[in-house]
Amino acid sequence: MGENIMVIQLENVCFSYPNGASVLDSLQFKLRRGEKLGLIGPNGSGKTTFLHIIMGLLKPSSGTVRIFGKLVETEKDFRIVRQKVGFLFQNADDQLFSPTVLEDVAFGPLNLGKKPKEAHKMSLKILKDLNLEGFADRLTHKLSGGEKKLVALATVLVMHPEVLLLDEPTTGLDEDTSKRIIHILNSLNISCIIVSHEYDFLARTTDEIYSIQNGIIVYDGVSADLHSHYHRHSAGKAPHDHMGI
């Protein structure tokens, strides 16, 4: 019953930049509770734009955005959305702006109205859950790229989001950090949209993969199928042979 609750629904969403270039063209998208979707697409195809529209950071030129079944339009509507939808930015340096890790992780809970003591406790707990014990007093600008990413993930997860949007979470990370992120994502029981260039990463973290092209989102296939050979299923669901197997 609860499985079919629509978490995010975009209808006929169009978006073009001030210079007139159209990025999204009558895009349709649905995310149900518990679904984990991967989204793949070339540079400049509008993946980030798509996520920013869901978060209310960009306004679509036309079309509607519904989150948890409710139409969201104004900044006020989106403020409520942002308490339930976590967004991991592509560049962790953009996300971590406080001097120390603890202060950065506690920023979200404090904004949600938690008392400093409680925010402090929540932050330490999430750092422990992500195996980042001992990071609390480290300076954010002195962390390595991988550490920054993991801490950025902690700053989002500490707010206990119901949906998680990730923009290129593994870009520029080493194998080890990627594995840790995959492990964390797989242990979470929440809906996700993960934007990535890497089929392999999406295959290991999502159930289904979509691709964005020419301003619309199209279904690519079940992640597990794509996983077995790490390339795009150009034949789609039609029966086909794999040469050499």
Partner 1 sequence: MIQESFTAGHTQIHRLDPRLKILFATLYSFIVALSEGFLPLFAALVLSFLLIGLARLNIREVTKRVVLVNGLIVLFWLVLPLTFEGEALFYLGPFAVTREGLNVSARITLKSNAILLVFITLVASTSIATLGYALNRLYIPEKLVYFFILTYRYMFVIEQEYQRLVKAAKIRGFHPGNNLHTYRTYAYLIGMLFVRASARAERVHNAMLCRGFKGKFYCLREFSFSRQDLIWSAFMAIAVIGLAFLEWVKISW
- Which residues of the shown chain bind partner 1 in the complex (CB under 8 A)? 52, 55, 57, 79, 82-83, 86-87, 89, 91, 93-95, 97-100, 102-103, 106-108, 110-112, 116, 119-120, 139-141, 155-156, 159
Q: How far is the CB of 43 from partner 1 (least distance, A)?
A: 17
Least gap, CB of 158 to partner 1 (angstroms): 9
Cα dihedral 192, 196, 198, 200, rounded to 10, equals: 0
CB 29 within 8 A of CB 8: yes
Decide if 180 contacts 150 (C-beta within 8 A): yes
| Closer residue to partner 1 in complex, CB, 137/241 | 137
Is-contact 72 65, C-beta < 8 A? yes
- Is 44 or 236 the residue whose CB approaches partner 1 more closely? 44
In angstroms, give the least distance from the CB of 111 to partner 1. 4
| Beta carbon nearer to partner 1, 9 or 100 | 100
Nearer to partner 1, 103 or 220 (CB): 103
CB of 138 to partner 1, least distance (A): 11
- Give, in degrees to the nearest 5, the angle at Cα 55 between 49 and 61: 55
Sign of CA dihedral 13, 74, 96, 136: negative
